[in-house]
Amino acid sequence: MSNDIFIGIDLGTSGARAIAINADREVIAEAKSSLADHGADHRDPAIWRAAADTALSRVTKSIERRKVKAIAIDGTSGTMLPIDAGGTPLAQARMYNDPCDDSEILDKIARMAPLKSAAHGATSGAAKALLFQANAPNAHKIVHQADWLAGQFCGTYVSDDNNALKTGYDSVAGKWPDWMEEVGIDRRLLPNVNEPGTLIAAIWPHVATQFDLPASTQIVSGTTDGCAAFLATGASQPGDGVTSIGTTLILKIISDKPIFDPASGIYSHRLLGNWLAGGASNTGGGVLLDHFSQGEIASLSQQIDPTTQLGLDYYPLSKAGERFPVSDPELQPKLSPRPDSDVDFLKAMFEGIAEVEKRAYEKLQALGTPPLNTIRTVGGAAKNESLTKIRENCLELQSSIPEHVQAAYGAALLAKHGGQK
């Protein structure tokens, strides 16, 4: 049995987390560091680096450092920055949710980019690339957050299929497509793209010394935080699905072929030999909080009988508009008739959420994914037993327990995948 150790670093919206695993996928150490501990400007890459360094330093204190084989990093999808030839940032980063307010740029992309491209929209990486071309004319490369941080560890600035998708990368063809030049994007400024889990380069000697790691430690191509969190659950085979129930309902399923349906917000990420297809609905925990507090939801849930069905056919939304499984900006919430009992009202919303989830997986299957074979649930609502039972009854499928829920664990699995080759 190998004694190798693999480390994943997740750079999220509030901080960095590092997880070390062994060859049996067991967590042997984890640590975190808040961005706020290093400064107030979360668009400052120096703060990302400081948080990642702190998390890595903390996690390596309790492991046998000489056994570290590889490190992989995930970052927030769509966060980008321009750099010079040495990797120094040339402008403040534009975050995943920073919209482009230049209508001319957005119109160009809308006209030129194929409908199936993920480059559409005000927060797309393609729009950010055009803004940086104008505002940082001396840029050597325009890279994603995970690309930059990995490059800080090894000196090579490359990207991965998942981070590059919203910037316009064609994962099916395996290239930055020709239409990007027509929009005005200089493809020479964009990084080369690897599949997640691909060896990039050995760690820089001075970085190895900084963390007392072997000079042979490899840096491995990472992914987005969302794809890393999916991997962390243990889902790995076609038909394995993961539903995240937070404010909204996000679901993904492993497919043996890519699925694209831009009207429903469905795109596919290339991941470890398969494709990760999914979409996001506007239903979820947010609409529950429109009507009840967290404490009320917990109390009322204990009184729900999930073995019976009210059948009120709710479509729980906080406001008009839905993305997936139906794409209808005018779709109205359906939350009536309202039962006299708060218990039944909450139960009816649970049933509505479950039905939307079922329709969403059916929509994915109709577009070509395998049937849903296993289901793992993450997010705050995953802890609600009544909702879980109602969803299991609706899907006619018992839930599988996620292997882990931290994106850093998924990044560590990518490190293992690349580091063991």
Fold matches, 5-227+407-419 and 237-400: yes
Please provide the average confidence, as pLDDT, over all residues in the chain.
96
Of the candidates 403, 162, 158, 416, the one whose C-alpha atom is nearest the C-alpha of residue 274 is 162
The CATH superfamily of 237-400 is: ATPase, nucleotide binding domain (3.30.420.40)
**Cα-Cα-Cα-Cα dihedral of 225, 412, 154, 170, to 10°?**
-50
Of the candidates 158, 168, 239, the one whose C-alpha atom is nearest the C-alpha of residue 196 is 158
Of the candidates 273, 272, 277, the one whose C-alpha atom is nearest the C-alpha of residue 414 is 272
Instruction: Give the chain's length.
Output: 421
Predicted pLDDT at 265: 84
Q: CB neighbours (10 Å) of residue 243?
A: 26
Q: Do β-strands 240-245 and 249-255 pair in parallel, antiparallel, or remain unpaired?
A: antiparallel
pTM of the full predicted structure?
Answer: 0.93
Q: What is the pLDDT of residues 112-142, one digit of tens each?
A: 999 999 999 899 999 999 999 999 999 999 9
| Residue 266 pLDDT exceeds 80 | yes
Predicted pLDDT at 51: 98
Q: What is the pLDDT of residues 213-236, one digit of tens each?
A: 999 999 999 999 999 999 999 999
CATH 3.40.50.10860 given to domain 5-227+407-419: no
- Taking the C-alpha atoms of residue 371 and residue 118, their distance in angstroms, rounded to an integer, is 24
| Residue 1 pLDDT exceeds 70 | no
- What are the sequence ranges of the domains in the chain? 5-227+407-419, 237-400
171, 161 Cβ separation under 8 angstroms: yes
Q: What is the pLDDT of residues 269-314, one digit of tens each?
A: 999 999 999 999 999 999 999 999 999 999 999 999 999 999 999 9
- Taking the C-alpha atoms of residue 332 and residue 8, their distance in angstroms, rounded to an integer, is 42
